[in-house]
Amino acid sequence: MDHPDWCAAGHRCGLGEHRSIVKVHGLVAGTRILRESGRGYVELLAMVPLPAGEQAAADRARLAIWAVDMILRVVLAGKLEPLREAYRQLTGMRVR
């Protein structure tokens, strides 16, 4: 399988897949993946700071997981404009 332009090659790719260099944006890191089958994915990792108290930490962890799941479902459904506008309002930055 030839390496796509974005593939990091080397030890990052193998076992029937290509992987990009990890890109970090805010609290999230992402790696683009192309499987031997031709199916592409993005692998996401988020680091969310938790408060000191156990109940508060559990609540924030649960809410963070729920929020990411909800956002990914909206993205997969193709409803991007409301997300773009919400991101712009929160950060002052536009995304395409």
Q: Are both 26 and 40 inside the same structural domain? A: yes
Domain span at residue 79 reads: 50-96
What is the model's pLDDT at position 15?
Answer: 80
Q: Are both 58 and 92 inside the same structural domain? A: yes
Block residue for tokens 């993946």: 33
Q: Are both 68 and 29 inside the same structural domain? A: no
Q: Are both 54 and 39 inside the same structural domain? A: no
The four Cα atoms 47, 51, 55, 60 give a dihedral, to 10 degrees, of -40
Helices (H) and strands (E) in the chain, counts: 2, 4
What is the model's pLDDT at position 4?
Answer: 87
What is the model's pLDDT at position 14?
Answer: 74
Q: Are both 37 and 54 inside the same structural domain? A: no
Stated pTM of the model: 0.74
Q: Are both 37 and 68 inside the same structural domain? A: no
Q: Which residues of the chain have pLDDT under 70?
A: 1
Total domains in the chain come to 2
What is the model's pLDDT at position 1?
Answer: 60
What is the model's pLDDT at position 47?
Answer: 92
